[in-house]
Chains A and B, each alone.
Chain A
Amino acid sequence: MAVHRAFGYFFREAIVNLARSWKISAVAVSTIAVSLFIGGALLLLIGNLNRQVREWRREAKVIVYLRPGVAPAAAAGLRAALQKPPWVTGVEAVSAEQARQRFVRYFPSVAELVHGWGEEPLPASLEVAYDPERVQPRAFEAWVQSLRRVPQVGMVDDDRDWVSQLEDVLRVIGGIGLAVVVVLLVAAIFTIASVIRLTAYLYRDEIDVMRLVGATELFIRGPFYVEGLLQGILGGALAVAALYLGHLVMAPQVPRTWLAGVLTGSFLSLRDQLLIVTLGALAGFVGAVASLRREEV
């Protein structure tokens, strides 16, 4: 039969099936929507965190703390040496006094910690900005190690260390999130499979008649496949809508801090939204196929 007529028939019958057993269909749609909502929320969170981490990586610096009493000429020589590697984009000298003022500005509640000392409590430093795109990891690492051996240098703080640790944490969160989403999706597939099997059972007399008049298995099963597909698409669309609503409601309520940026920075891209709906459709279709695979419906 003509493909477009067959699909038209499948869609009409699937919509009739959904409408006739809307309560159990609603259960299937809700299950898949909840699974994809959780998956989507994780995707949103991880996406924004990744963006933030990329930003931090772009802003990462190597801070070279000088030992107390380093002569200005030696500091200037060191500063000139620090500008040589190709990835370095700038070196800023921060005196001990500037460091103390910065501390007071950033941490006013514990400002007294740096008062009352006879001399400056914080060391002077050279803050090296670099372009992460131009960094050659091995050469960069060797360079940092060599700085640690310079006699005038007390300590070298490489921002990449904690950014890398954060990226590791993100990878773990992503892995756990993926596992949770897979488990939830499998549960949703089972729910859809049960719903479709139940619908097929309700229509078993009709299906017998269809088979007797010469309908092929594809023609009989087609509406059930489309029913699963529609349930999945509806579930996915509901999940995206709920995520968007949640994002709209939460965004103005979160204070404008970096955490707010992480949680509500930007919504899922169109590609991610389509991915969620496609996953729903796939889960629905797989559920329908699985439910009808073994039995002669």
Chain B
Amino acid sequence: MIHFYRVSKHYPGGQRALDEVTFQLDRGEFAFLTGPSGAGKSTLLRLIFRQEIPTSGQILVNGRNVASLPRRKVPFLRRTMGVVFQDFRLIPRKTVFENVSYLPRVLGLDGQRQKRLAYETLRRVGLAHRMKAFPLELSGGEQQRVAIARALVNQPEILVADEPTGNLDPEMAREIFELFLEINRRGTTVLVATHDARVLERLDKRVLSLRAGRLQEDTAAPGATAARRMSAVIAAGARPLPPVPEAVGG
């Protein structure tokens, strides 16, 4: 589904954001991307949805070479994936419903279908009752759920999230990760960049650890040993925290 082969990204001035990164994420897989600030997590995600172009290497997303994709085709690539950000990136002057139904509108669906899709997706994230609210009237967790609904409304094959719980308290973060797991259970490939060591410890999912732009650890498959998982977490610079009373599922 997502295939990175010796991908490097250098910025003007010589800064190396990514250096020879190679990994493969299969259809339906769930993986975390972790590492300290500046490790290259956000750059890697931006390469997937073609907000950036690699300096060298190959990136295949769903069989398409993202780096060589003509600019006019980028919107069509992005429609096959959902993207979630730490700062939600909702349109403040539009209601929750309008934010979620934006993509169906872009796709030219008729009004009834736009409404049905947006309503169903909002119901899935538990926010159907806040359709008419504006983003700034919602809590941080609710805003992030709206952002997830927006990412899901077109039933994407891939969901990428960049520090989606960075601005949320632990309880809201737990709810968001439960939502990601549920989305993944329905078949969507999920890649989440996070610093949250608690989540990395509790969820038995693959972890890709970046440090200084290099892929330092890849736990490769669900069910890796706790020691190896911990090694990946620590190697990435995330600090393990004491267990929380209510463990996240998975």
Interface of A with B (CB < 8 Å)?
A: 1-2, 5-6, 9, 205-206, 208-217, 219
Residues of chain B contacted by A213 (CB below 8 angstroms)? 78-79, 83, 102-103, 106, 150
Q: Does B242 contact A (CB under 8 A)?
A: no
Q: C-beta contact mask, B79-98 vs A, less than 8 Å → 1, else 0? A: 10001000001110100000
B91, A1: Cβ atoms closer than 8 Å: no
Chain A: minimal CB distance from B104 (Å): 10
A214, B106: Cβ atoms closer than 8 Å: yes
A209 with B89, Cβ < 8 A, contacts A5-B108, A214-B106 known:
yes
Residues of chain A contacted by B150 (CB below 8 angstroms)? 213
Chain A: minimal CB distance from B125 (Å): 16
Of A9, A205, A206, A209, which one neighbours B105 at CB under 8 angstroms?
A9
Residues of chain A contacted by B89 (CB below 8 angstroms)? 205, 208-209, 212
Interface SS of chain A: helix, strand, loop or mixed? helix
Q: Does B70 contact A (CB under 8 A)?
A: no
9 contacts between A and B (CB under 8 A): A210-B106, A212-B51, A212-B89, A213-B78, A214-B78, A214-B154, A215-B75, A215-B106, A217-B72
Query: 8 closest pairs, A vs B, by CB?
Result: A1-B108, A214-B79, A214-B78, A214-B75, A215-B106, A216-B75, A213-B103, A206-B91
Count of chain A to chain B residue pairs whose CB atoms are closer than 8 Å in the complex: 53
Chain A: minimal CB distance from B69 (Å): 13
B75, A2: Cβ atoms closer than 8 Å: no
B91, A212: Cβ atoms closer than 8 Å: no
Chain A: minimal CB distance from B232 (Å): 29
Q: How far is the CA of A186 from the CA of B154 in the complex (A)?
A: 44
Chain A: minimal CB distance from B102 (Å): 6
Residues of chain B contacted by A208 (CB below 8 angstroms)? 89
Chain B interface bracket (under 10, 10 to 19, 20 to 34, 35 or more): 20 to 34
Residue of B nearest to A3 (CB): B108
Interface of B with A (CB < 8 Å)?
A: 49, 51, 72, 75-79, 83, 89-91, 93, 102-103, 105-108, 110, 150, 154
A6, B49: Cβ atoms closer than 8 Å: no
Residues of chain B contacted by A6 (CB below 8 angstroms)? 108
A219 with B91, Cβ < 8 A, contacts A213-B78, A213-B150, A214-B78 known:
no
Q: How far is the CA of A211 from the CA of B49 in the complex (A)?
A: 11
A212 with B105, Cβ < 8 A, contacts A205-B89, A206-B91 known:
no
Residue of B nearest to A212 (CB): B83
Residues of chain B contacted by A215 (CB below 8 angstroms)? 75, 102-103, 106
Q: How far is the CA of A209 from the CA of B107 in the complex (A)?
A: 15
B102, A210: Cβ atoms closer than 8 Å: yes
Residues of chain B contacted by A5 (CB below 8 angstroms)? 105, 108, 110
Chain B: minimal CB distance from A96 (Å): 86
Residues of chain B contacted by A209 (CB below 8 angstroms)? 89-91, 102
Residues of chain A contacted by B93 (CB below 8 angstroms)? 206
Q: How far is the CA of A9 from the CA of B51 in the complex (A)?
A: 26
Residues of chain A contacted by B103 (CB below 8 angstroms)? 213-215
Residue of A nearest to B94 (CB): A206
Residues of chain A contacted by B90 (CB below 8 angstroms)? 209
Residue of B nearest to A207 (CB): B91
A1, B78: Cβ atoms closer than 8 Å: no
Q: How far is the CA of A21 from the CA of B138 in the complex (A)?
A: 26
Q: How far is the CA of A6 from the CA of B106 in the complex (A)?
A: 8
Residues of chain A contacted by B154 (CB below 8 angstroms)? 214
Q: How far is the CA of A199 from the CA of B5 in the complex (A)?
A: 41
Chain B: minimal CB distance from A39 (Å): 37
Given contacts A215-B106, A217-B72, 14 further A-B contacts (CB under 8 A): A1-B106, A1-B107, A1-B108, A205-B89, A205-B91, A206-B93, A208-B89, A211-B78, A212-B49, A212-B89, A213-B106, A214-B77, A214-B79, A216-B106
Residues of chain B contacted by A206 (CB below 8 angstroms)? 91, 93
Residues of chain A contacted by B75 (CB below 8 angstroms)? 211, 214-217
Residue of A nearest to B81 (CB): A214
Residues of chain B contacted by A210 (CB below 8 angstroms)? 102, 106
| Highest count of chain B CB atoms <10 Å: which of A1, A6, A209, A216 | A209
Q: How far is the CA of A35 from the CA of B49 in the complex (A)?
A: 46
Residue of B nearest to A208 (CB): B89
Q: How far is the CA of A213 from the CA of B79 in the complex (A)?
A: 6
Q: How far is the CA of A1 from the CA of B49 in the complex (A)?
A: 22
Residue of A nearest to B71 (CB): A217
Q: How far is the CA of A206 from the CA of B90 in the complex (A)?
A: 8
Chain A: minimal CB distance from B79 (Å): 4
Chain A: minimal CB distance from B43 (Å): 16
Chain A: minimal CB distance from B162 (Å): 11
